[in-house]
Amino acid sequence: MRRSDHEMDVVSLGEALVDFLPNRRGQRVREVTCWTPCLGGAPANVAVGLSRLGAKSGLVGVTGEDEFGHFLKDGLRKEGVDVRHLRQTGEGKTGLGFVSLTAQGERSFTFYRTRAAETFLDGRDTGGAKKLLRSSRVVHVGTNSLIHAPARTAVSDAVRRAFEAGQLTSTDPNLRLHLWKDPSVLRRLLGVLFKRCAVVKLSEEEIEFVTGTSDVASALSWLEQRGVLVGIVTRGAKGASLRFRGETRHVPARRVKVIDTTGAGDGFTAGFLYGLTRLYATRAELEAADLDALEGHARFGCLVGSHVVTKLGAVAGLPRRGQL
């Protein structure tokens, strides 16, 4: 498929949630008196980040047939995200997350995701979006909506089809282990996804669960041994490390005043994937990439992430291309 044949740059598969942000930092959830609803959910955040940078992005997933579901679909559409395949269902309610922030901007979450609509993603959604997914340079997936077997099967099959078609595939698991009754199911799912993902982004806090080691270099090597072309570990204020063709590079983070760390990793992913889609349209093209160019994309990802942490929430700080 030629570059001009691609309708989309990145289509994300996974959850959209409503994040409720407190009016000020340093309060526990029980102490907050004023909340602001915002777009949330890692795949949705990535889709918004890409759209603001000027990429064509879409989201395939499920929300509730409720006011919060309408809030998400309308908000994503206004951001320029293709939501033709963001289905609304009466089977479950739109997931909600209440974010509590320390004075330093570190966050903790209180989730309302029991029987959440996002988990009813299934083959109807990936099948209905097959043409859109096939027309995308990158198919990017999260894992938090995959706690039910039909969703796992649908997303695994979508990634397999993209991989077999030579498309670029990407995942940021964005682990929320409390959602899984048996985390070993998640670990097995990641094993399946990684074999077919060109790009895998983990945070430093996630690597021990995923790879069995807390050492960044060893974790990146572990990913490479499983067929990942570009493995990335984001490290907060320490920047990010990436590995490609047996070589590891580190890029620094920009020093900024941190208001809220929510969504920084999603901002990095959006920036990195944006860079990839400017240069590469297939897995084969990425395999032949220049390491210096990939390091540049990682630097750009860190730049986008550094903007995110200067505002409350995962979306407010996502920059537009003109700001960079």
Q: Domain of 299: which CATH number?
A: 3.40.1190.20
**Alpha-carbon distance values, 53 to 5, 49, 122, 258, 322 (Å):** 21, 6, 30, 22, 8
Closest CA to 305 of 133, 68, 49, 130: 49
Cβ atoms of residues 126 and 162 within 8 Å: no
Segment among 1-5, 203-207, 218-222, 320-324 with least mean pLDDT:
1-5
pLDDT-based confidence at residue 279 (cuts at 50, 70, 90): very high
Is the pTM higher than 0.75? yes
Residue 8, classed as helix, strand or coil, is strand
For residue 22, tell me if it sits in a domain.
yes
> 259 falls in which pLDDT band (50, 70, 90)?
confident
The answer to whether position 324 is within a domain reads: no
Burial of 297 (0-12, 13-18, 19+ CB in 10 A): buried
Confidence of residue 166 (pLDDT cuts 50, 70, 90): very high
User: Starting at the edge strand that comes first in sequence, how are the strands of the sheet with 107-112 ordered?
Assistant: 35-40, 17-22, 96-101, 107-112
270 domain-assigned: yes
Query: What's the CA gap between 141 and 195, in Å, rounded?
Result: 14
Q: In a 3-state reduction of DSSP, which class is residue 135?
A: coil
Asked if the structure places residue 321 within a domain, the reply is no
What are the pLDDT digits (tens) for 189-226? 999 999 999 999 999 999 999 999 999 999 999 999 99
CB neighbours of residue 246 within 10 Å: 8
Q: What one-letter code names the amino acid at 32?
A: V
274: CB partners within 8 A, 6+ apart? 9, 49, 50, 53, 54, 55, 300, 304
Angstrom distances, CA of residue 146 to CA of 92, 113, 116: 14, 13, 11
Does pLDDT of 323 surpass 50?
A: yes
Please identify which residue in the block is written with the tokens 């995701």: 113
Contact indicator for 210, 187 with CB cutoff of 8 Å: yes
- How many domains does the chain divide into? 1
Looking at residue 253, its pLDDT comes to 94
Residue 2 has pLDDT above 80, yes or no: no
Which SS3 state, helix, strand or coil, does residue 47 take?
helix
From the CA atom positions of the chain, what is the Rg in Å?
18
* pLDDT number for residue 312: 86
Residue tagged 């969504």 (tokens): 263
Asked if the structure places residue 322 within a domain, the reply is: no
Task: Assess contact for 263 and 308: CB atoms under 8 A.
Answer: yes
Residue 207, both tokens: 């690597």
Whether residue 295 lies inside any domain: the answer is yes
Range of the domain at 280: 3-316
